[in-house]
């Protein structure tokens, strides 16, 4: 489903129709890819961006629009793993990015509802106050400025911390207007299919590059080790009318993480983050139920889900890897991190060893030895094992529902629309996990690394690079036991 930002908008940019050679090829036209082009346009003459879908159709056009250096409860984790100096540097880089993004908006006169706001992270329940206190302790240790939020100050927050001089914007408008101002060629509906030896292959053409930046969040299928370091998290958002028009962006970290941001014409409510190995339908149902209970007097404009990648040690990865540079792992805070990543890419291409570059390096030891590395990979292994062990019988699903089943120990899924059945092979063509049906978006999702497929097996989102085997039949054609 399209987000409220993207609804009814088309960029009209063409797909690639010839072979190309360029100085810099950027794959992915989200915040990261576009900001890289922005940083590099004075350094290189010929920059090309290819995008598998449309500009900002990924997480960048589907997020909550918060531009903030307050990153949930991440500082306590970053501090535990990386220590004081690196945590402070992470904060400083992200905090500077807020003003830098404002600078780009002013420079190019981008109309994206930019406004200065305060950001609050806190909790409602008593048992989460310790977690909030730990985050505040991390702020103190790293000299990160904040104000305490006490009970009754902000509705729904018992205890929390406020960052001043943060901001919010329409991330989709920011991206498409920035794209239109950049000195580079952009091609939409042009997925990278393969990368090797300074050449990217799309479906029909090749692009030879001097430098290549993969700003795709997900990495090409041949780099399997990335999937042991990163894991996608899924979240849900809804746009509701009217907006409360408050100058506050709230994140409540209770049993469920809930986010809120008020824009001019609607307010965004969401969160409900979960790993893709969890049952997305349970989260989606509880999100829908809470919307009705908590906002009975608001009109629901739209709902959507989106994914962002988390690295096992809580810092993004921006580094050279073979003959290209990778950017991933913003852990749901990519609006500022994408700016920091674009500066890091510039450091790499200028061959300057900066502290920022060390922070996001792929060679850091914490990538392999963190506790999260073990738990995330356990989930991937568990899904793989479960997918091999399950055995069930064939059932015809209810209308607009799906069922999964196994034949000769191979998993399949059937979706029913009236008399028609859409059957897909649900063994993920990426690394072989079994796909789960996403009831909200009516598609097949991979619990391991986030690939998504349509009801007829086409790829909606990688890392898988090929679609699913699929067939269709009519129920009336089947010989069913009575
Ligand atoms: C629900 C939700 C709310 C969020 N809210 C916030 C927020 O309020 N503030 C904040 O700072 N962050 C937020 N984030 C995080 C933020 O949206 C992301 O971190 C950020 O948008 C990532 O930008 P990106 O450019 O790296 O990735 P994306 O925007 O996902 O862009 C990657 C692009 O690459 C393209 N692509 C992928 N594979 C290929 C291929 N093979 N060939 C060509 N193109 C390809 C995709 O189509 C996509 O357009 C949120 C995330 C979610 C999920
Ligand atoms: S196994 Fe990796 S995305 Fe499915």
Last residue of a domain, one of 267, 295, 311: 311
> Does residue 416 sit within a domain?
yes
| 308 C-beta closer than 6 A to ligand 1 | yes
Tokens of 337: 């991190």
CATH, residue 466: 2.102.10.10
- 356 DSSP assignment: H
Q: Which atom of ligand 1 is nearest to the CA of 65?
A: 8
**Pair (137, 247) in one structural domain:** yes
| 59 C-beta closer than 6 A to ligand 1 | yes
Rounded CA separation 316/300 (Å)? 34
How far away, in angstroms, is 149 Cα from ligand 2 center?
A: 41
**Pair (286, 422) in one structural domain:** no
> Does residue 101 sit within a domain?
no
How far away, in angstroms, is 31 Cα from ligand 1 center?
A: 7
| 430 C-beta closer than 6 A to ligand 2 | yes
For strands 410-417 and 402-407, give the pairing.
Answer: antiparallel
Three-class secondary structure of residue 84 per DSSP: helix
Which residues sit opposite 26 in a β-bridge?
49, 213
Ranked by mean pLDDT, the top range of 201-205, 225-229, 308-312, 395-399 is 201-205
**Pair (136, 275) in one structural domain:** yes
Rounded CA separation 222/430 (Å)? 9
Last residue of a domain, one of 291, 311, 331: 311
How far away, in angstroms, is 361 Cα from ligand 2 center?
A: 24
Three-class secondary structure of residue 309 per DSSP: strand
In the predicted structure, residue 35 carries a pLDDT above the cut 50: yes
- Residue pLDDT, tens place only, 274-295: 887 777 788 889 999 999 999 9
CATH, residue 137: 3.30.9.10
By alpha-carbon position, which residue is closest to atom 15 of ligand 1?
332
> Mean pLDDT across the chain, nearest whole number?
89
Q: What is the pLDDT of residue 233?
A: 87
Q: What is the pLDDT of residue 196?
A: 87
Rounded CA separation 231/98 (Å)? 26
**Pair (156, 278) in one structural domain:** yes
pTM of the prediction? 0.84
**Pair (396, 293) in one structural domain:** no
- 59 DSSP assignment: G
Q: In which domain, by residue range, is 470 found?
A: 390-477
pLDDT band at 302 (very low <50, low <70, confident <90, very high): very high
Query: Domain tally for the chain?
Result: 2
More confident residue, 246 or 366: 246
Last residue of a domain, one of 280, 311, 342: 311
| 428 C-beta closer than 6 A to ligand 2 | yes
- Which DSSP string corresponds to 172-200? HHHHHHHHHHSSSEEESS----EEETTEE
Q: Which atom of ligand 2 is nearest to the CA of 451?
A: 3
| 448 C-beta closer than 6 A to ligand 2 | yes
How far away, in angstroms, is 396 Cα from ligand 1 center?
A: 36
Closest by Cα among 206, 177, 220 to 50: 206
In the predicted structure, residue 384 carries a pLDDT above the cut 70: no
């Amino acid at each position: 489903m399209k987000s409220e930002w993207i609804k009814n908008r088309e960029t009209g940019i063409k797909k690639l129709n010839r072979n190309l050679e360029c100085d810099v090829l950027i794959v992915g036209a989200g915040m990261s890819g576009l900001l890289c082009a922005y940083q590099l346009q004075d350094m290189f003459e010929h920059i090309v961006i290819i995008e598998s879908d449309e500009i900002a159709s990924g997480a960048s056009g589907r997020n909550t629009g918060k531009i903030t250096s307050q990153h949930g409860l991440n500082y306590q984790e970053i501090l535990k793993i990386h220590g004081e100096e690196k945590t402070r540097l992470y904060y400083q880089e992200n905090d500077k990015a807020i003003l830098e993004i404002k600078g780009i908006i002013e420079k190019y006169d981008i109309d994206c509802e930019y406004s200065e706001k305060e950001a609050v992270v806190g909790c409602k329940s008593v048992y989460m106050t310790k977690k909030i206190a730990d985050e505040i302790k991390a702020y103190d240790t790293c000299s990160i400025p904040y104000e305490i939020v006490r009970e009754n100050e902000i509705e729904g927050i018992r205890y929390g911390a406020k960052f001043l001089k943060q901001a919010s914007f329409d991330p989709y408008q920011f991206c498409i207007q920035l794209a239109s101002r950049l000195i580079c060629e952009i091609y939409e509906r042009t997925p990278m299919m393969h990368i090797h030896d300074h050449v990217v292959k799309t479906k029909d053409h090749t692009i030879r590059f001097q430098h290549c930046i993969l700003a795709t969040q997900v990495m090409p299928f041949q780099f399997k080790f990335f999937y042991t370091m990163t894991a996608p998290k899924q979240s849900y958002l809804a746009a509701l009318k009217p907006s409360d028009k408050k100058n506050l962006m709230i994140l409540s970290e209770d049993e469920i993480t809930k986010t809120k941001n008020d824009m001019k014409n609607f307010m965004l409510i969401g969160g409900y983050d979960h790993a893709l190995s969890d049952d997305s339908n349970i989260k989606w149902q509880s999100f829908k139920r809470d919307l009705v209970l908590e906002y009975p007097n608001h009109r629901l404009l739209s709902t959507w889900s989106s994914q962002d990648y988390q690295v096992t040690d809580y810092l993004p990865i921006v580094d050279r890897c073979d003959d290209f540079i990778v950017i991933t792992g913003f852990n749901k805070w990519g609006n500022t991190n994408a700016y920091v990543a674009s500066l890091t890419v510039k450091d790499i291409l200028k061959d300057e060893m900066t502290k920022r570059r060390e922070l996001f390096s792929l060679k850091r030891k914490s990538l392999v030895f963190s506790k999260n590395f073990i738990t995330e990979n356990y989930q991937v292994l568990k899904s793989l094992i479960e997918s091999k062990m399950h055995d069930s019988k064939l059932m015809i699903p209810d209308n607009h529902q799906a069922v999964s089943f196994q034949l000769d120990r191979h998993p399949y899924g059937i979706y029913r629309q009236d008399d028609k059945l859409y059957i897909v092979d649900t063994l993920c063509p990426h690394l072989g996990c079994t796909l789960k049906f996403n009831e909200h978006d009516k598609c097949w999702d991979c619990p391991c690394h986030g690939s998504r497929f349509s009801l007829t097996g086409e790829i909606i989102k990688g890392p898988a690079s090929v679609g699913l085997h699929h067939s269709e039949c009519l129920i009336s054609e089947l010989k069913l036991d009575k």
